[in-house]
Chain A
Amino acid sequence: MSRRPAWFGILLGLTLALTLTFLTVPVVAIFADTGPRQLLNSLGDASATDALRLSLQTSLTAIIIIVAVGTPAAYALATRRFRGRDLVVTLIELPLVLPPAVAGIGLLAAVGPNGIFGPALQDAGIRFALQTSSVVLALVFVAAPFYLRQAQSAFEALDPDWLSASRTLGAGPAQTFLRVAIPAAAPGLVAGLALAWGRALGEFGATLMFAGSFRGVTQTAPLAIYDRFATDFDGALALSAVLVAVSAALLLTVKLVTGARWEAVGVAR
C-alpha cells in the first residue's frame, strides 16, 4: 500500500481556488458595486448610450470587413502552398503581440494626415483621423488576426479529400469553397468571429491614439469608461457592467459553438 501524497492534492486545490478568486473578483465587484438603479440611471445618460451605440456600430462594421476579406484569405493560407507562406502567416499574426498604442502610432504613421499614404488619401478625398471610420480601421487592424488565425486552422482541419470529392462531383474551386469548405469549417469560423468581435469591443489603446476620444464620433464604450473614471466612478462602473455582459455572451457563444463542432466532426472521419 502506498500512501497518496495528500499535500499535492491540497496544493492543486489551493492554486485553483486562488486563480479563480483572483480572476473573478474584479468582475463580480463591478456588478456588486453597481446597484440596478445606478445602472439604469447611467445608461439613461446620453453619453453612455452614444458610446455603446458607437461601439456596436464600429465593431460590427469591422467584423463584416474582417470576415468578408479574411475568410478567402485564410482559405488561401490553409489550402495553397507557395513560397514565403510562413512569412505571410507570421506577418499576419504580428498585430496579436503588438502593444495597442504601437498599433495606433503605426496607423497614424501609415494613413494619418502626416503619414506615408496620408496626403495621397487626402487628395482622393479620404481622411483617416479623428473620425468614426478611423475607429473602424483601428478595430480591423487589432481584431483581424484573431479571426484569421482561427479561420486558417479551421480550414486546415478539413479533410483535403472533401475538397477533392467536391471537384470530382462537378463543382469548381469557388463552388467548393462556398458549398463545402465554409459550411464544414463553420463552427471554427464562428468561434474566430466571436473572438475577434470580443477583441474589437474591448479595443482601447489603438483607438485612442489613432482616432481620439470624441463623444458620438470616436468615443467607444471603453474610451467612455476611461473618460468617466475621473469624474463619475459610478457611471464608469455601470458602463463596465454592460461591457462585461456583452463580452460574456460572446464567450458563451464560442463555447457552445466549439462544443458543437467536436460533436459534429469528432466521429465523422
Chain B
Amino acid sequence: MLRVEARARLGACDLDVALEVPAGTCLALAGPSGAGKSSVLRIVAGVVRPDAGHVTCDGDAWLDTATGVDLPPERRSCGYVFQDYALFPHLNAWQNVAYALRHLDRGERRRRAVALLERFGIAPLAEARPRTLSGGERQRVAVARALAREPRVLLLDEPLSALDTRSRARAGRELKSTLAAIGVPTLLVTHDFTEAALFGDRVGILDEGSVIQQGTPADLAARPTSAFVADFTGAVVLTGTARAAADGLTHVALDGGGTIVSTDTAEGPVAATIYPWEIAVGAAGQREQGSAQNHLAAQVVSLTVLGNRVRLGLAAGQPLTAEITSTAAQALGLAPGTAVTATFKAAATRLVGR
C-alpha cells in the first residue's frame, strides 16, 4: 500500500492531495496539463520535496515533513517511467536497463538486462541506441529499466502519449498485462481520460492541484459530480437553470435558449451532461414519436469521420457533439450548415450543480 499526502506551492496552483494505492492496483490521476500530475509522481519518487506531507510504502516512511524523514530517490524504491522515457542517450538498450543493476557483477548485470528486454520482446534491439528505436520500442526499454530493480512502487507519467496512434493500442494492451503481473502499487498520470480508464482500477480527476473526484472509471463516466469531470470524461456539457416541474421531471432552461428535461433532481444553476452517443440526429422540425423527450434545433458545424462513425459538431445555442453512424449521416445528407434536430432521452441527461 502506497500512501501519499502532500501540499506544495506549484507555479500556478497549490497542490493538495491525499492518495492511497493498494498493492496490485493502479490509481490513474487524470487532468489537464498544469494540474500538478507530474509533481505528484516527483514527490513520491523523492525528486521534488513538498512543503508538507508524507509518503509511506507498506508502512515504511520515505518522507515525513513532520518528523524530518526525507529519503533521497536512490534509497526509495520507485520504478519511474518518465514522460519522454528519459533513456540515457549515451547508453544502448541493455546498458540502459543494466544501469539499474549496478549492485550486481558485470556478467550478471548483462544477463539480467537482456532477460528483461526479452520479456518485453525487444532482446534483438539490445545493442541499439535509444535514438535509433521507435517510440514503442523506447517505451518498452523504459518499462524494462523501471522494473529492473523490482521496485515497490511503479510510477508512470503519460506512458502512451509519446506514441503514435497505431502503436498506442498495442503498447496499451502490453502495459496493462505488465501492470497486472507485477503486483505493486502503481500510480499513473495522464491528460487523457480514456487512457486513465484503460489502466486505472480507480481514477482520480485532478484539477488545479486537487483531486476533485475519485472512483472507478465507470463511476466517473456515469456519475460525474461536476461539469469539469463530465467534460473531461468526454460528455457534452450544457449549462442552464433547473427547476422541478409538476410531471416529476426537472426542467432545465438552457443558457443559450431552449429547454430540456432530466430524470435527475436539481434546483438552480446546473450543468446537464449527455454522452455524444446518446444523442440522435434527425431532419429539422421532425419530431420522432419515440420515448425521447429532449429535442433541440441545431445546425451542423462540422463533420469528422471516425471509421464507421461520424462525430458531428452542432450549434444549438450551446455547442453540442453527437456521434452517429456514417450510414445515418449519409442518409440524412448532412453537411455543414444543415439544420437538424438533436434528440436525447431525459434519462440520459445527468444534472450536476454549478
Contact = CB atoms under 8 A, between A and B. Distances in A.
Contact of B47 (A167, A169, A171, A180): A167
A170 B149 CA distance: 9
B82 A164 contact: yes
B47 A164 contact: yes
Contacts of A268: 87, 89, 130-131
B72 interface: yes
A161 B86 contact: yes
Interface in B31-63: 42, 45-47
B275 interface: no
Given A164-B86, A166-B99, A184-B88, 17 more contacts: A164-B42, A164-B45, A165-B88, A166-B88, A167-B45, A168-B47, A168-B73, A168-B74, A168-B76, A169-B74, A169-B99, A171-B99, A172-B74, A183-B90, A265-B89, A266-B131, A268-B89
B102 interface: yes
Contacts of B91: 183
Contact of A168 (B80, B84, B90, B130): B80
9 contacts: A162-B89, A166-B99, A167-B47, A168-B73, A169-B100, A169-B149, A170-B100, A179-B99, A183-B90
Contacts of A159: 84, 86
A184 B100 CA distance: 17
Interface string A169-191: 11111000001100110100000
Interface in A91-129: none
A80 interface: no
Interface of B: 42, 45-47, 72-74, 76, 78-80, 82-84, 86-91, 99-100, 102-103, 130-131, 145-146, 148-149
Contacts of A29: none
Nearest to B142: A165
Contacts of A168: 45-47, 73-74, 76, 78-80, 146
The 5 closest A-B pairs by CB, nearest first: A161-B86, A167-B73, A268-B89, A169-B100, A268-B131
Nearest to A169: B100
Interface string A182-208: 011010000000000000000000000
A164 to B, nearest CB: 5
A161 B86 CA distance: 6
Contact of A184 (B45, B74, B90): B90
Contacts of B88: 162, 165-166, 180, 183-184
B158 to A, nearest CB: 12
A265 B86 CA distance: 12
A256 interface: no
Nearest to B73: A167
Contact of A167 (B74, B79, B131): B74
A186 B90 CA distance: 9
A260 to B, nearest CB: 12
A171 B82 contact: no
Interface string A56-76: 000000000000000000000
A159 B74 CA distance: 19
Interface string A240-268: 00000000000000000000000011111
A128 to B, nearest CB: 40
A4 B73 CA distance: 62
Nearest to A162: B86
A269 interface: yes
Contacts of A180: 88
A261 to B, nearest CB: 10
Q: Tell me which of B74, B91, B102 has the highest count of chain A C-beta atoms within 10 A of its own C-beta.
A: B74
A112 to B, nearest CB: 44
A92 B72 CA distance: 31
A173 B47 CA distance: 11
Contacts of B45: 164, 167-168
A167 B72 contact: yes
Most-contacted residue by chain B among A168, A170, A186, A264 (CB, 10 A) = A168
Contacts of B47: 164, 167-168
Contacts of A179: 99
Contact of A267 (B76, B131, B145, B149): B131
Contact of B102 (A167, A170, A265): A170
Nearest to B81: A165
